[in-house]
Chains A and B, each alone.
Chain A
Amino acid sequence: MDERALIQDILTGNTEAFADLIRPHQRRVRLACLVWLGQSEEADDAAQDVFLKAFQSLSRFKQESSFLTWILRIADNHCRDLLRARGRRRTESLDALFAEQGDAMEHLINRRLKVSDPIPYDKKEWELLGRLFTALSEDEREIILLSEVEELSYPAMADRLHCTLDAVKGRLKRARQNLLEKCRLQFPDLP
């Protein structure tokens, strides 16, 4: 059943079919929440709330974009609200994280680079990833989220951030280089 038909089915009363919408999109929604919030349990709670919000407002979904794009926007707004309510975001120094969890981080990266097929995240890796994202600035997280999780094109990112293409490219390049530099210093064996 395609997504449009599935949504119609849910709207006509087959609530259980919503599980078929959660399954294919949960990884990206959870990842988006993790990038924003950093703490894995808080991110998963937020991701659950995002799916609940989507369910409750499904009748208002116009289907002008894909369900994934729509729900990622909900996730984005929800996480920003949570961060605002939290007041001050938790920050972590990348150097401190590497000093404490360097071996685990290296293991995470190497394990994933050795295999050609993608492998699932386990709980520890998920927590570690969250801590890594917390060490990035809000600007860096935002642009990396749009590029790596939402997989938006440069024009789409420029549209979302209300800035020029060059500004997007510059911002993304700086964010990537910062992360790369830190990882390279910590893990010289990285390719």
Chain B
Amino acid sequence: MDIKNDDQDDERWQQLSKALFGGNKMADEGLFTYRIMEKIRELDPVAQNLTWHRFLRWAIPILGVGAASLVLAVRAPTSSTSMFMEKAMFGQQLLNEDPLAPIFEDLR
């Protein structure tokens, strides 16, 4: 008899529990989340300017790469000109020297 009563009570409790605790969500969930996030942004000054912060996180490296590319682009013609000049000057000197001269020297 007791076991039967216990089973009945369990079943009834499950029903009552479902009614009292079984709500799957709250009607104002969005507002609740919004309020907490507002307070978090007040606590965290970085988060206050999050959009700007996120932009900077990407913009700084991109701007850095851009600036480096610009510097390289400006410097590249100068260095290739100087390399050309160097080649022209020293290349000429090399041409003046006969590469077979040491061999002929030995044969003599």
Contact = CB atoms under 8 A, between A and B. Distances in A.
Interface of A: 13, 15-16, 18-19, 22-23, 26-27, 30-31, 44, 47-48, 51-52, 55-56, 108-110, 112-113, 117-123, 125-126, 129, 132, 148-149, 176-177, 179-180, 183-184, 190-191
B20 interface: yes
Dominant secondary structure of chain B at its interface with chain A:
helix
B9 interface: yes
Given A15-B44, A52-B43, A190 B15 contact: yes
A27 B20 contact: no
B35 A180 contact: no
Contacts of A31: 21
A26 B29 contact: yes
A80 to B, nearest CB: 20
Nearest to B6: A173
A71 to B, nearest CB: 12
Nearest to B31: A44
Contacts of B58: none
B22 A183 contact: no
Contacts of A19: 33, 36-37
A117 B26 CA distance: 14
Contacts of B26: 26-27, 30, 120-121, 126
Nearest to B29: A26
Interface in B49-90: 50
B9 A48 contact: no
A26 B15 contact: no
B93 interface: no
Contact of B33 (A26, A117, A125): A26
Interface string B12-56: 110111111111111111001101110111011011001000000
Contacts of A176: 9, 13
A97 B5 CA distance: 27
A148 B21 contact: yes
Given A16-B50, A180-B9, A180-B13, A113 B19 contact: yes
A110 B12 CA distance: 13
